Chain A
Amino acid sequence: MPKSNHAIPLAEIHPGEEVVVREFRAGRAVGSRLASLGLTPGVRVNMTQNYGRGPLIVTVRGTRVALGRGEAAKIIVERGADE
């Protein structure tokens, strides 16, 4: 199992895993666009596709959202957080 369950970039999450968004390390412009597509701190995100390179797809609030790897690296998530 991975080293830590806290503060992992979304880009490192494996397909099929469900995680909770903790914070954005991107500017407000990107953060605001992510929020309008449903990515806000506290939301559960399911990793739908991630091949380790290139863009990835997450499912959040019933919507499939494609993210560039750079963007996904700036979204900090937490594993196995059962709130």
Chain B
Amino acid sequence: MSTLISEFRKIISTKFWWVLTLIVAGYVAMTDSILAFAASMAETMGDMGTGQEVMMPQGEEFALFVYSSGASLCYVFPAILGALIVNSEFRYQTITPTFLAQPRRGRVLIAKLIVALPFAALTGVVLVATSIAAGGGVLALTDQITGLEEPKVWEFFLRVVAAMTIWGLVGVGLGALIKNQIAAIVGLLGFTQFLEPILRLIPLFTGEDYQFLQYLPGAVNDAISGVSMYSVMMPSPSETLSLPIALAVLAGYALAFTIGGYFTTFRRDIS
């Protein structure tokens, strides 16, 4: 218990948790409102005489599409938050006093996982609130359907918070596995923002479906939230995991990274 309180105080006495939460809010406010606004322009201007049939969802499906635009990218922020909870201790060597206070290192790692939960969940809640305010606000102002009375939309919001929360745990595990702060964050961003999107586009060119693609972290994230930018972009949306399986897979990533980190970083000499 005392280790938990220590870990909680460590987070709130630094800035990164609210800085990352603010970034989520800013990012979502931007993407959601731009998308909602652009749609209203497109509607008033018609199809701009190109004669092309644009495959755009309608009504509350479109509202969901707007809300998901931030969500399908913002999961990296709770992951960075989780990673920093571990990495900053090694970067500034505060891991020394931490292990002096609690020499049972496994307990420190478990405490970090537990305290990451509320902070990661907060990024999810802030994301949803911003989505409603910015995306919903612009949709309403431009006389489009906000979908805010639809249970389906609220289920989506709940799923997003769940996904963001588990991403916090994935981050803690990743931070434990990759001790170096810069390496951990570059690795996280590089994989999720660059490598994975490329991998997920492969079926578009080969025409084949690859089973492993649905287990990639970003695809799992989409499966949890239930709405994906990719499913809109792809001509034939590939299979996605069911919600319970997707939750389990993401939690599995967190668990595997954490165990890996425990047996490497947390077992090593601190000098």
Bound together: no
| B residues whose Cβ falls under 8 Å from a Cβ of A | none
| A residues whose Cβ falls under 8 Å from a Cβ of B | none
